[in-house]
Amino acid sequence: MANEIMKSDERLISDVKQIVEQGLQTAYQGVNRVQISTYWQIGRRIVEEEQNGEDRAEYGTYLMKNLAKEMANEYGDAYSLRNLQLMRQFYLLFRDLEIMNARVRNLRWTHFRSLLRVNDEDARYWYMKEANDEMWSTRTLDRNIASQYYYRLLQSPTKQDVIDEMRQITTPLQDPHEFVKSPVVAEFLGLPSNAAFTETELERAIIHHLKDFLLEMGKGFAFVAEQQHIRTEQNDYFIDLVFYNYLLKSFVLIDLKTTRLSYQDVGQMDMYLQMYDELKRTEGDNPTVGIILCSETDGDVARYSTLAKNDQLFAAKYLTYLPTEEQLRKEIEQQKILFEQQNHESDK
């Protein structure tokens, strides 16, 4: 009797766990859509409240500043005055959220934030559809908007020439320096911004949000394995994440660190690259690329460690929150300086 009760309990626990896992998986897949829907609904509510005000301009200014103060205090910079203004504009420019979500499932909030700069409605919707269908990163979308790609395509008698030019410009070159992104903005992982999580939790979050992570990393990435086992004659090693980039024709190893970059981290990845090239790389593959994805990069490590001597080894910072445009600009500039230090040393 006791055994039957134990088996019944085990089945119940197993079934409930399966239900929870299925629910979590659905939530992970839909988190981006939920974020976009949330921002759209906030924008709609702001517009509705403005329309109820007697003096719309004056009331609207007061409304936004007061709302931003309350929201930012409780929920952080994602609800700053600037971002609330973007949410309001988002609703005004994309009124049919249901149709939009059905047509452009591959786009994230950062894509829509870029699209808000396009005043021409026809161009805006064209860029939206192309970015979705062609899996453009936000940076590629920004580049194509800035280069007037839509209008050049309309005006050109030989449209294929313009298309080929765009693809040549936006396709990564056969050089890892051209595609390693830092910082990696990974707010979709749902992790706390104070880094109070383990490397295992970071890895699981990336796997659950693999599609979004691949989009953030850029073009050409395909998932290979997590915790890939590498066995030598003396030891066993496990590499956190392994991808293959078909544009570079290289395996890409990612080592996850929830701390500041250290010399030990660089040495470990350098060893992984040598082992992988010897034991896993096949004929036709370019040398393996290694990326240490850490919570904070380090100028001294970038300049004086093996990082400065190995053209296949990189360090990149990740952000677990969506920064404001100004914060992102500062982060990009800071990471660019570190990257240039690495390039400068490796060119000597």
- The answer on 78 and 110 residing in a single domain is no
- The answer on 96 and 109 residing in a single domain is no
Give yes or no for a contact between 241 and 270, defined as CB atoms under 8 angstroms apart. no
Q: Which of 101, 119, 135 is the last residue of a domain?
A: 101
Average pLDDT of span 246-265:
86
Question: What is the pLDDT at residue 172?
Answer: 44
Full domain range(s) for residue 303: 176-346
- The answer on 35 and 118 residing in a single domain is no
Contacts of 260 (CB under 8 A, 6+ apart): 294, 295, 296, 297, 298
* 265 pLDDT higher than 70: yes
- The answer on 185 and 325 residing in a single domain is yes
Global confidence as pTM: 0.48
Question: What is the pLDDT at residue 272?
Answer: 92
- The answer on 311 and 191 residing in a single domain is yes
* 128 pLDDT higher than 80: yes
- The answer on 202 and 337 residing in a single domain is yes
Question: What is the pLDDT at residue 168?
Answer: 55
- The answer on 253 and 131 residing in a single domain is no
Question: What is the pLDDT at residue 144?
Answer: 81
Residue burial 65-75, b: 16+ Cβ < 10 Å; e: rest: eebbeebbeee
* 45 pLDDT higher than 50: yes
User: How far apart (Å, rounded) are the C-alpha atoms in residues 94 and 116?
Assistant: 9
Q: Which of 170, 187, 213 is the last residue of a domain?
A: 170
Task: Name the nearest CA neighbour of 123 among 154, 157, 158, 163.
Answer: 154
- The answer on 38 and 55 residing in a single domain is yes
Average pLDDT of span 73-77:
77
**Which is higher by pLDDT, 97 or 348?**
97
* Residue 345: band (very low, low, confident or very high) from pLDDT cuts 50, 70, 90: very low
Q: At 135, list the tokens.
A: 């899996």
Average pLDDT of span 114-132:
88
DSSP state of 307: G
Contacts of 318 (CB under 8 A, 6+ apart): 183, 184, 185, 186, 293, 294, 295
**Which is higher by pLDDT, 49 or 343?**
49
Question: What is the pLDDT at residue 310?
Answer: 73
Which CATH number goes with the domain that contains 289?
A: 3.40.1350.10
**Which is higher by pLDDT, 202 or 238?**
238
- The answer on 243 and 154 residing in a single domain is no
Average pLDDT of span 42-67:
74
Long-range interactions of 134-137: CB distance < 8 A, separation 24+ = 135/106, 135/215, 135/219, 136/111, 136/170, 137/215, 137/216, 137/218, 137/219
Q: Give SS3 for 137.
A: coil
Question: What is the pLDDT at residue 115?
Answer: 92
Q: Which of 101, 122, 144 is the last residue of a domain?
A: 101
* Residue 261: band (very low, low, confident or very high) from pLDDT cuts 50, 70, 90: confident
Question: What is the pLDDT at residue 341?
Answer: 58
Question: What is the pLDDT at residue 34?
Answer: 76
* Residue 95: band (very low, low, confident or very high) from pLDDT cuts 50, 70, 90: confident
For the stretch 279-315, pLDDT in tens is 888 887 888 988 888 888 877 777 777 776 677 888 8
Task: Name the nearest CA neighbour of 199 among 157, 259, 151.
Answer: 259
Contacts of 243 (CB under 8 A, 6+ apart): 214, 217, 221, 222, 223, 224, 251, 252, 254
**Which is higher by pLDDT, 83 or 182?**
83
* 57 pLDDT higher than 60: no
- The answer on 197 and 335 residing in a single domain is yes
Question: Is the torsion defined by CA of 239, 237, 299, 304 positive or negative?
Answer: negative
What's the N-to-C CA distance of the chain in angstroms? 77
For the stretch 184-204, pLDDT in tens is 776 667 776 655 677 888 888
* Residue 90: band (very low, low, confident or very high) from pLDDT cuts 50, 70, 90: very high
Give yes or no for a contact between 324 and 80, defined as CB atoms under 8 angstroms apart. yes
DSSP state of 175: S
Whether the upstream peptide bond of residue 183 has omega within 30° of 0, thus cis, is yes
Residue recorded with tokens 């850490």: 294
For the stretch 131-182, pLDDT in tens is 888 778 777 788 788 777 788 777 666 556 555 555 555 444 445 555 666 6
**Cα-only R_g, the chain:** 23
- The answer on 225 and 300 residing in a single domain is yes
- The answer on 20 and 155 residing in a single domain is no
User: How far apart (Å, rounded) are the C-alpha atoms in residues 151 and 126?
Assistant: 11
Q: At 77, list the tokens.
A: 């910079």
Question: What is the pLDDT at residue 322?
Answer: 67
Question: What is the pLDDT at residue 70?
Answer: 83
User: How far apart (Å, rounded) are the C-alpha atoms in residues 198 and 204?
Assistant: 10
Q: At 166, list the tokens.
A: 């765009």
| Number of domains making up the chain | 3
* Residue 118 vs residues 73, 141, 196: alpha-carbon distances, Å: 31, 11, 38
What torsion, rounded to 10 degrees, do the Cα atoms 192, 195, 197, 200 define?
Answer: 110
* 253 pLDDT higher than 90: yes
